[in-house]
Amino acid sequence: MYFFFHLLTGLILGLLIGDLLHDRRWVLPCAIGAILPDLFDKPLGMLIFNESIRDGRIFGHTVLMVVILGVIGLLVMNYWKTPVIAGIVVGVISHQVLDSMWWEPKNWLYPAHGAFPRLNDSINLTSLLESELKNPVEIILFISVCVGIGLFVYRDRIVSALARHTGWVRGLLACGAIGLGILSCVFFWFSRGKHFLLYLAWTRPEEFVIGSIVTALAALLLWRWYRKVLDMG
């Protein structure tokens, strides 16, 4: 999966969990955790360990990393009552699921299968960055992430400003939720056959299923916001 799809997924999870638990502290950690494996692994594996590994899916993409962060998260939750590390764990798990790491067991289950295998020499950090910048879907997702962050940061002002316009706000949220729900069904239907989405790089059935689930969660989030605005009206 591409960078901003990871980030948007983490943001959706953080907003949804924060909404369900009435705790906004989940949002930022989930978003950070969703991109943390790439921020950590790609420079490490393709720059520092370029000669020996040249792979952007190493330590941050392992079950071991999830277990270590999970233990730390439980301790932090128990003693300091903050979900910061737990949110990061949720984001990291979402990243590994989106990357379908079970198809790379030597990396995912490290160190059970020995050292990390060396990636193809034709793949490097520069080529990955170029593919991100030339991807129109990533640009759309970047805009979506910016909108989501803006809604979260200025949520109180936005709610206050829209208090007198709940009608069209409900309409927008309802249309968005229904549209995403339909898109989720389309993705799930695609998972039943051999399809390929070029700019999302989805080729396997489970990738369409995962994309369907993420889209459905976004639809659920918008629907919950719609219900809240409906109660305000």
Assign residue 81 a region: left if phi > 0, alpha if psi is -120 to 50, beta otherwise? left
3-state secondary structure at position 203 = coil
pLDDT score of 73 more than 80: yes
Full-model pTM: 0.89
* 221 in Cβ contact with 19 (< 8 Å): yes
Q: Say how many CA atoms lie within 13 Å of 227 toward its Cβ.
A: 7
For residue 214, what pLDDT band results from cuts at 50, 70 and 90? Answer: very high
pLDDT digits (tens, 9 = 90+) for 3-13: 899 999 999 99
pLDDT digits (tens, 9 = 90+) for 144-181: 888 878 877 777 777 676 667 777 788 888 999 999 99
For residue 137, what pLDDT band results from cuts at 50, 70 and 90? Answer: confident
